[in-house]
């Protein structure tokens, strides 16, 4: 269970893989974690963390996307995957999730359709930046097909 200091115990499981965001086309982007907020779902009382990612460089520089990572047994691996992408290890120990702020990762964006027919950008997964170059833009998947559930 998270606390106000952003310290969370994570179980030893394999990492896997609610948002106010700018529209960013589908593809992979180099993004920096700029903010993390503790969040509790008002309907189910489920805790989680909302991460804000900001595009670094390129045509979409400065645009942001948010994603909430829930602290449930079924979803905790997704948060672990993000932390691993940020270079944060946990090895069955507690981890300060806030240490991800300022880290730069590759974020795969996909486009989803909303309940009212509109489209929005959603974080599909994160992965670490390979090598030491943090200044080169991530390759973009400009010709990605629309979301057909096959990402």
Give the span between the Cα atoms of 134 and 97, in whole angstroms: 22
pLDDT tens for residues 34-82?
999 998 988 999 999 999 999 999 999 999 999 999 999 988 889 989 9
Chain centroid offset of residue 59 CA:
20
Give the span between the Cα atoms of 97 and 120, in whole angstroms: 26
Q: Does domain 7-127 have CATH number 2.60.40?
A: no
pLDDT tens for residues 15-39?
433 445 788 999 999 999 999 999 8
Q: Does this model's pTM top 0.75?
A: no
Q: Where are the domains of the chain?
A: 7-127
DSSP class of 84:
H
Which string of DSSP letters, residue by residue, matches 19-46? -------SEEEEEEEEEEEEEE-TTT--
Give the span between the Cα atoms of 132 and 117, in whole angstroms: 41
- Enter the tokens of residue 118: 């509109």
Contact 123, 108 (CB under 8 A): yes
Between 90 and 77, the more confident residue is 77
């Amino acid at each position: 269970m998270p606390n106000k200091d952003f310290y969370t115990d994570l179980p030893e499981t394999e990492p896997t893989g609610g948002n106010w965001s700018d529209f960013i086309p589908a593809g992979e982007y180099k993004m920096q974690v700029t903010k993390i907020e503790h969040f509790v779902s008002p309907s189910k009382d489920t805790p989680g963390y909302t991460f804000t990612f900001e595009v670094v460089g390129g045509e979409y520089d400065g645009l942001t996307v948010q994603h909430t990572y829930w602290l449930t047994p079924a979803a905790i691996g997704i948060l672990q995957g993000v932390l691993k992408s940020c270079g944060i290890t946990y090895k069955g120990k507690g981890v300060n999730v806030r240490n991800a702020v300022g880290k730069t990762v590759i974020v795969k964006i996909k486009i989803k359709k909303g309940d009212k027919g509109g489209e929005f950008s959603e974080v599909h997964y994160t992965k670490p930046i390979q090598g030491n170059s943090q200044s080169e833009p991530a390759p973009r998947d400009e010709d990605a097909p629309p979301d057909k559930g096959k990402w």
